[in-house]
Structure 1
Amino acid sequence: MPGILGELYVHMTWSIALQIVLLGFIGGILSGFIGSGGAFFMTPGMMNLGIMGPVAVASNITHKFGKAMVGSKKHGEMGNVDKKLSLFMLFTAFVGIRLAVIVMKSLFNVEGHGAGSSAAADLYISIIFAVILLFVALSMLGDIVKSKSKDEAGPSTKITDFLGKLRLHPLIYFPVADVTVSLWVILVCGLATGYLAGTIGVGGFIGVPAMIYVFGVPAAVATGSELYLAMYMGAWGALNYAFEGMVDIRCTLLLYGGSLLGIYIGAYGTKVVKEVIIRLVTSVIILLCVISRIVAIPVYLQKLGYIGMDPSYNIYFNMISKGLLFVSGSTGALLIIVFVFKAYFQRRKLEASLAMEVPASA
């Protein structure tokens, strides 16, 4: 649909292109580390660069396919992928994505193909983003705070235990995750994961917590399994949005330019960083990204005429939103890189020490 493309596409400059590559790199590190797909960072990041919400979501979910394929392969080599669990969630995830595309298209067409309708879609994306991810972040932080110590901290099993007592048949056993889960619970979580992936490009922040807190899956296996699921969701989402003419292939390729390197760094980090640290880094980054998106909401409200704010203030709100987003993502990525390199040098030091002991014992 050329009309939509003409209205929504941003003029691509070298500055914007490099920033999208940086978004991809940071998002790739976060994706490999916490299994989110990194879209919680990249989707609002592209919106801050002037790319309209529908195109940011569509381009990011298209990018999600290839990156998830690389990430799931890496996690699969480490034994972190339960393919059976992912495939059981897949059917309703497809339904959720299709529903999300229908809603997005209807919002975009509310007032034609002008700025007003784009602002409606952007506002919708931002509100869904803020509400859902705020709940996820606060839940994870609360769980960590309640733990007695960092060494003993583990994910809450209250939901898992409650559902276990209900025993909603049929129950299915998943060998890699070593959990037994009701089929109905799996289908509902798959639908929610797909709908959010299609709405804001973020499926992992429902899929991963659902696997950990609802199914009782270990964090590393939840990360790998969600990436395996995301590979298929990304392909299906790309097809649905491409038929609506909302995928900007330039943005997708630029995201790939940074993320395919970053995801390897993040995936390695899951093997050398304590699970409680993974959850702490995840929750703090999400919280900062949520605040970043909340700051941008007045801009869309002003464009839609819901508030009488001076339009000249929009640039300041956007700058604050963009700054918060990059600080959160960059800090998180830097921490992960530090953990990875620290573990790498410790391993090299241990190998060197063992090599020196062999001749002495001989």
Structure 2
Amino acid sequence: MEHFIANFIHISTGTALQVVLLGFIGGVLSGFIGSGGAFFMTPGMMNLGVEGVIAVASNITHKFGKAMVGSHKHGEAGNVDKKLALFVLVTAVVGIQLAVLINSFLFKGGTGHGASKGAGANLYISLVFALILSLVAVSMLWDVLKGSKGEEGDAGPSRKIADALSKLNLPPMIYFKVADTKVSLWVLLPVGIATGYLAGTIGVGGFIGVPAMIYVFGVPTAVAAGTELYLAMFMGAYGALSYAFQGFVDLRLTMLMYLGSLVGIYLGVYGVKVVNERYIRLVTSLIILLCVISRAIAIPMYLRQLGLVDMDPGLDVYFNNTSKFFLFASGITGTLLILFNVIRAYRQRRKLQQSIRVVKTPSPVLSPDLK
């Protein structure tokens, strides 16, 4: 059992409180955006000194519990296509296993002699994180700006890709009843691998899974979100076990994140009900872009630790603190904007309820002629 605790870090009271804060912000963003919030929590833990592979492993374990609760709620609303999720899961586990093998190899020194332990995995995770989430954030911003110009902004997701693929008719074609769509098996398989790979590499699989279901498979948005959560439950469980056997899951970090996220997620979910959808997408894309900038700032530090650039080691703390500042600034600002809208909507609702009570309350003095 020694290898299960070999990679645990020392967690001071200050670090523990910051992890709880990460969980709270990630929970608010998760409920508000509909994502797991890992795009914020994974780099956040890395800024606190947690090795990237341990941050990913602890986060994917944390994701399992939240996905289980979320998929149950979506299931009650009829938004989960279990058949579709299981077909994607077949190859998603391959992607997860590939990610675990690469991260484990890089963490254990697969980058050459003289390199700091874990630096290779930290650099790899940061590069994948920056590349994928840059594409996601730019795509979301483009979508928001296009909608603001009146170009099909409120017409719903485009079905151009899904319709084009369906015309190709690559057998075997599989029909999914809940999603009400027919998809080729050869389209399902690579999407599953990509979703699993990203979930296992940076802890964020939904940013590929949900758009793929909507734009490539032609699945309704609500069903895509519910099905991805159902899928994430199994991916989280498999990823957690795979990383645990390598000794990379720190359950203390997972539990600390739960302390914050379970409170934050309810505030975020309430915010979705009262905030304009275009505003949600705008805030989300800006937060993700700032998270990407935060991770990019840390990259020179990892390059130095790998011996790829000649730089004063004393500069590491400045790179890390600047990266940490951008990350927490984006998360805290986004959370405050969300909470501001939640509080404003709550107060408006209370005023409306009070005005309704006043209208319904009969006058104590009535003229006999009016009775």
Provide the TM-score with structure 2 as the length reference: 0.87
Return the alpha-carbon distance in structure 2 between the equivalents of residues 283 and 174 of structure 1: 31
Give yes or no for the alignment of 1:227 onto 2:229.
Answer: yes
Question: Which AA in structure 2 matches 1:214?
Answer: V
Task: Tell me which moved more, 161-170 or 85-94.
Answer: 161-170
> Does the 8 Å CA contact 2:32/2:268 hold for their aligned counterparts?
yes
The answer to whether the 8 Å contact 1:119/1:300 transfers is: yes
Q: Secondary structure at the match of 2:129?
A: helix
Q: Could you give the per-residue CA deviations for residues 94-128 of structure 1, whole angstroms, max 9, x where no partner exists?
A: 12111111111221232699962310011111111
Per the TM alignment, residue 257 of structure 1 is displaced from its structure 2 partner at its CA by: 0.9
How far apart are 1:314 and its partner, in Å? 0.9
How many corresponding residue pairs?
A: 361
* Residue 251 (structure 1) shift: 0.6
Question: What residue is the counterpart of 1:149 in the other structure?
Answer: 150
Q: Per-residue deviation at 1:178?
A: 4.3
Aligned residue for 2:333, secondary structure, equals helix
Q: Secondary structure at the match of 1:181?
A: strand
Q: Could you tell me how far apart the structure 2 residues matched to 1:165 and 1:174 are?
A: 17
Structure 2: where are the runs of 5+ without partners? 363-370
Output the amino acid matched with 1:91: V
Contact 1:32 1:262 in 2 (8 A): yes
Render the CA deviation track for 1:193-219: whole Å, top value 9, x for unaligned.
111111111111111222233233444
Aligned partner of residue 117 in structure 2, secondary structure? helix
Contact in 2 for aligned 1:153/1:276 (Cα 8 Å)? no
Cα 1:173–1:336, aligned 2, differ >3 Å: closer, same or farther?
farther
Q: Which amino acid aligns with 1:301?
A: L
What's the counterpart of residue 215 of structure 1?
A: 217
Give the aligned residue type for 2:136: V
Please say if residues 114 and 306 of structure 2, whose CA atoms lie closer than 8 Å, have aligned partners that are also in contact: no
Moved more, 86-95 or 118-127: 86-95
Q: Which residue matches 2:290?
A: 288
Contact 1:133/1:290 (8 A) holds in 2: yes
Matched to 1:116, the amino acid is S
Which residue of structure 2 lines up, in the alignment, with residue 51 of structure 1? 50
Contact 1:65–1:231 (Cα < 8 Å) also in 2: yes
Residues 211 and 351 from structure 1, CA distance in 2 versus in 1: closer, same or farther, beyond 3 angstroms? farther
Residue 124 of structure 1: aligned partner:
124
Please give the alpha-carbon distance, in whole angstroms, between the structure 1 residues aligned to 2:308 and 2:321. Answer: 21
State the Cα distance separating 1:352 from its structure 2 match. Answer: 4.3
Counting aligned pairs with the same residue, the percent is 66
Whether 1:12 aligns to 2:14 is: no
Whose Rg is larger? Answer: 2
Which moves more between the two structures, 161-170 or 204-213? 161-170
Query: Structure 1 pair 88/169, CA: closer, same or farther in 2 (3 Å)?
Result: same
CA distance in 2, matches of 1:134, 1:119: 22
Given residue 117 of structure 1, which amino acid in structure 2 is its aligned partner? K
Contact 1:120–1:300 under 8 Å retained in 2: yes
**Mapping of residues 64-213 of structure 1, within 5 Å:** 64-109=63-108, 110=110, 116-147=116-147, 148-149=149-150, 152=154, 154-213=156-215
Contact 1:3 1:113 in 2 (8 A): no
Are the structure 2 counterparts of residues 337 and 219 from structure 1 closer, same or farther at C-alpha, using a change threshold of 3 Å?
A: farther
Summarize deviations over 1:13-60 as a string: whole Å, max 9, x none: 000000001111111121222232111111110000000111111111
Query: Residues 91 and 253 (structure 1 numbering): CA distance in 2 closer, same or farther, change over 3 Å?
Result: same
For 2:59, the aligned partner's letter is N
1:234-313 aligned within 5 A = 234-313=236-315
**More off after superposition, 92-101 vs 105-114:** 105-114
CA distance in 1 between partners of 2:81 and 2:343 (Å): 28
Q: 1:40, 1:202 within 8 Å by CA — same for their partners in 2? A: yes
> Aligned letter for 1:252?
T
Is the CA contact (8 Å cut-off) linking 1:70 and 1:260 kept in structure 2? no
3-state SS of 2:31 partner: helix
Residue 309 of structure 2: SS of its match in structure 1?
Answer: coil
Structure 2 letter corresponding to 1:43: T
Which digits, 9 at most, give the CA deviation of each residue in 1:230-280, with x for residues without a partner?
111111111101111111111111111111122222233333333333322
1:357 Cα offset (Å): 4.9
1:92 is displaced (CA, Å) by 1.4
User: Does the residue aligned with 1:117 lie in a helix, a strand or coil?
Assistant: coil
* Mapping for residues 328-339 of structure 1, pairs under 5 Å: 328-339=330-341
Mapped contact 2:111–2:306 kept (Cα < 8 A)? no
CA contact (8 A) 2:4 2:244 kept: no
Separation (CA, whole Å) in 2 of partners of 1:348 and 1:85:
42
Give the secondary structure class of the aligned counterpart of 1:168: coil
CA separation of 1:3 and 1:79: change in aligned 2, threshold 3 A: closer
Kindly provide the CA deviation profile for residues 292-348 of structure 1, in whole angstroms up to 9, marking residues without a partner as x.
111100000000110011111111111111111111122222223333334444444
How many Å separate the matches in 2 of 1:84 and 1:356?
Answer: 51
Calculate the TM-score normalised by the size of structure 1.
0.89
Distance 1:261-1:176 versus aligned 2 partners, 3 A rule: farther
The amino acid that maps onto 1:181 is V
| Contact 1:35/1:227, CA 8 A, preserved across alignment | no
Pick closer, same or farther for the CA change 1:186–1:85 going to 2, 3 Å.
same
**Range with bigger deviation, 63-72 or 296-305:** 63-72
Structure 1 residue 161, shift from structure 2 partner: 3.2
